[in-house]
Amino acid sequence: MKKQEKKQKTVFIILLSNIFIAFLGIGLIIPVMPSFMDAMHLSGQTMGYLVATFAAAQFLMSPLTGGWIDRFGRKKAIIIGLFFFSISELIFGLGTNIGMLYFSRILGGVGAAFIMPGATAYVADITTVEERPKAMGYVSAAISTGFIIGPGIGGFLATYGVRTPFFFAAVVAFLACISSLLMLSETMPREQSAENPAHTQENTGFISDVKKSFHPLYLIAFVIVFVLSFGLSVYETIFSLFTDHRFGYTAQDIAMIFTISSIVGLIVQVSMFGKMVKVLGEKKLIQLCLVAGVLLAVVSTMVSNFFIVLAVTCAIFLAFDLLRPALTTLLSKTADDQEQGFVAGMNSTYTSLGNIIGPAMGGLLFDWNINFPYLFAAIIMAIGFGMTFKWKNKHVQPLNHIKSSERQRI
């Protein structure tokens, strides 16, 4: 028994490492993007399109990979995703023209669309319902840690050349790919896809998966996923511009606020998230985080003292950091074993959609008034909070179970 538990812990660490590496690779290139833009003679508009291209590719591929994961397995998806991500970073580092850069970002988005739902579904497979909230908290912490450490490592590596961080990300992702190939075992039974072929065929199409996400069992949770992604991307995208224009904060000031806020969120996720779910439940925790997000986004437009700005930013990042794993846990509990890949894939889809629309809207509103992005994000989160009251006390029966019972009656 102890040997099995030790093996499970090793597998879990590998999964967390894969997620951490993916977001480390995204985070570590942030400090060098302005220098890379100058070196490649790119416009700011082009750099924005490159960021959107990654999210758009992930958005389009996530529902397809979700169905693929349910049909062919979690391990294959993780390995494919890490390999694509590694190659994409290498191509970006070697890129000499804009076409190569766009291709790199598309490939990276496709890789992320395999990694995140594959790893999330894998975690759901190897944990019990009681263990899942804590496990999803660790998954969210791995994401946050990647973002925390990434920019610092990227800044250090940039001293050896503006392209060095991209090569470093490529090597690390490739090593993670090899370790996953050698050490992970498939958790989905081979006969699972044969048990419900209609389900797997249904999941192989983008339109069918999007339609399925509108089912009452999933819809509100996926809408909140979009709201979270939208609000967080607006806040992160506009924060440096907002504080620079209003307060004259330096890059060091902004980096300090982001780092401290991320560390606080990480500590609370690891130490408190599981306990908070036990006390409040996922729904109440989600509602609490949305209310906090609305209030803090509005307060952000009113404060000026550096330490108050730091405190408000810590609080809103903490709300986002708790909201993400609460949603992921709720979705994983709602779906049955054959739909873990589907919900993970659509989770990634709605996250990507928010990451595409949020920064674009935030930048547009910022040009009109520097307060508008925060206020608009508050409105979107308030709408999301209102929708949570439409959640039913009892879950709707999973789609597969409904189909199974119908077949039995027939």
Domain holding 236: CATH number?
1.20.1250.20
Report the helix count and the strand count for the chain, using DSSP H and E. 16, 0
Is residue 199 a part of any domain in this protein?
A: no
| Cβ atoms within 10 Å, residue 125 | 16
Is residue 408 a part of any domain in this protein?
A: no
Q: How far apart are CA 403 and CA 400, in angstroms?
A: 5
Is residue 191 a part of any domain in this protein?
A: no
Q: How far apart are CA 196 and CA 107, in angstroms?
A: 31
Is residue 219 a part of any domain in this protein?
A: yes
Identify which of 110, 48, 66, 9 has the alpha carbon closest to the alpha carbon of residue 343: 66
Q: What is the pLDDT at residue 57?
A: 85
Q: How far, in Å, are 63, 65, 196, 291, 362 from residue 191 at the CA level?
A: 22, 19, 9, 44, 47
For the chain, what is the domain count? 1
Is residue 198 a part of any domain in this protein?
A: no
Q: Is 41 exposed, middle or buried (0-12, 13-18, 19+ CB in 10 A)?
A: exposed
Q: How far apart are CA 12 and CA 17, in angstroms?
A: 9
Is residue 409 a part of any domain in this protein?
A: no
For residues 109 and 61, the answer to whether their CB atoms sit within 8 Å is: yes
Is residue 194 a part of any domain in this protein?
A: no
Q: What is the pLDDT at residue 68?
A: 79
Q: What is the pLDDT at residue 14?
A: 80
**Residue 306 belongs to what domain range?**
2-185+204-402
Is residue 123 a part of any domain in this protein?
A: yes
Per-residue pLDDT of the chain (410 residues; tens, 9 = 90+): 566 667 677 778 888 887 787 777 766 665 566 566 667 777 655 666 776 788 788 778 877 787 778 777 888 888 999 999 999 999 988 988 888 988 998 998 898 888 878 887 888 777 777 777 677 777 777 776 776 676 667 767 777 877 888 898 899 889 888 888 887 777 665 545 444 444 444 444 557 767 777 777 777 778 888 888 888 777 776 776 777 778 887 656 776 777 788 788 878 877 888 888 888 888 888 889 999 999 999 999 998 899 999 999 889 988 888 887 787 777 777 766 656 667 777 777 787 788 788 777 777 787 788 898 899 989 988 988 888 887 654 444 444 444 443 333 33
